[in-house]
């Protein structure tokens, strides 16, 4: 392993050109580590990592995790997978392959290198939950054959693989269940509610609300999320997870729409359309384990996080217009 010859860690981040991955890489580089960013750019963007190419501790590899990868690193963060319904439903078979084959390939690499590996799992493993808020011990309420199943079941299978590698090969694993995250560098057309509402409000278009807008979500700002991810990776080896990382403060979709309209100073109207199949009615993490084991809790309020995210999308639209 490289760390035997160098006190600086060399870290692999798959999906590193994506929204979460690029913020994670920024933080790791700020802490003095070397980073190998792997992405096939299906949903990731070079724009998210353009500012890093002059950094001698940063390396980009265009690669699909569905195929084996041979590199020498000290830690692996496995974030590769389309994460928004529009993207993961575009090619559902490939989405499942990315979660399952990608996990197998990265676990195999970690096994060979004898290094720690973190899986970016998701609150979608809980499906449309019958338990609220969601605790890690809850097994979920997931439709295995619906339009969202490629993502939900792919991530569930990836968790299975991680724990089987841990039990069978004594691999050092970390499994993190990510709840709704937002912030700068979100894809403008990813179909997620925060980016949808902001883009529609900035363009003066009606805000599209699915159902009555009474369904709830808990929104975690990306900086808080990355902090939780790094704390989990750096925790003692007996803390494997899964651990929920998200903001436990719950908002209805209509409340979110109102907050964004105020920040954008938009007079856009609201348009209500039918709720998609298997769309969860409630989503709120129980973060007791994160507080106890990682000394982690989110610090950035929705009001401040939305302000930063709106500023990013304003700049994005300005660049697109010029």
Enumerate the active-site residues.
Answer: 151
Per the document, the length of the chain is 322
Q: What is the DSSP string of 203-222?
A: TTPPEEEETTS--EEE-EEH
Burial annotation 254-289 (CB, 10 A radius, 16+ → b, else e): bebbbbbbebbebebebeeeeeeebebebbbbbbeb
Vertex 193 angle, CA 18 and 16, to 5°: 5
Strands 58-62, 75-78: pairing is unpaired
Whole-angstrom distance, CA of residue 140 vs CA of residue 120: 17
Say which residues have a Cβ less than 8 Å from residue 119's Cβ, sequence separation at least 6.
78, 103, 158, 159, 162, 173, 174, 175, 176
Dihedral sign (CA 88, 181, 212, 126): positive
Does residue 245 come out as left (phi exceeding 0), alpha (psi in the -120 to 50 range) or beta?
beta
Residues facing residue 173 across a β-bridge:
117
HSE of 139 in the Cβ direction (CA atoms, 13 Å)?
1
Residues facing residue 35 across a β-bridge:
11, 58
Whole-angstrom distance, CA of residue 161 vs CA of residue 100: 8
Residue 28 has φ and ψ, to the nearest 5°, of -65, -40
């Amino acid at each position: 392993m490289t760390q035997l010859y160098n006190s600086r860690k060399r870290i692999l981040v798959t999906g590193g050109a994506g929204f979460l991955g690029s913020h994670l890489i920024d933080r790791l580089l700020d802490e003095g580590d070397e980073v190998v960013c792997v992405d096939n750019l299906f949903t990731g963007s070079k724009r998210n990592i353009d500012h890093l190419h002059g950094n001698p501790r940063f390396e980009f590899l265009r690669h699909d995790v569905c195929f084996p990868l041979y590199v020498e690193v000290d830690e692996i963060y496995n974030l590769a997978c389309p994460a928004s319904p529009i993207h993961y439903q575009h090619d559902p078979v490939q989405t499942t392959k990315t979660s399952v084959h990608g996990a197998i390939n990265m676990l195999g690499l970690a096994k060979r290198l004898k290094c720690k590996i973190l899986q970016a799992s998701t609150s979608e493993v809980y499906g449309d939950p019958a338990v609220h808020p969601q605790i890690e011990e809850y097994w979920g309420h997931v439709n295995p054959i619906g339009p969202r199943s490629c993502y939900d079941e792919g991530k569930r299978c990836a968790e299975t693989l991680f724990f089987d590698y841990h039990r069978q090969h004594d691999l050092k694993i970390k499994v993190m269940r990510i709840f709704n995250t937002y912030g700068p560098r979100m894809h403008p057309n990813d179909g997620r509610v925060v980016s949808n509402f902001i883009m529609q409000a900035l363009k003066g278009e009606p805000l599209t609300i699915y159902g009555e807008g009474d369904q709830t979500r808990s929104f975690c700002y990306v900086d808080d999320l990355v902090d939780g991810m790094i704390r989990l990776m750096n925790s003692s080896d007996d803390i494997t997870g899964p651990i929920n990382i998200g903001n436990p403060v719950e908002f209805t979709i209509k409340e979110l729409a109102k907050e964004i309209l105020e920040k954008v100073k938009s007079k856009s109207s609201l348009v209500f359309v039918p709720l998609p199949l298997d769309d969860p009615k409630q989503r709120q993490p129980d973060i007791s384990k994160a507080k106890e084991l990682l000394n982690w809790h989110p610090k950035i309020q929705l009001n401040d996080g939305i302000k930063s995210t709106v500023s990013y999308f304003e700049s994005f639209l300005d660049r697109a217009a010029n």
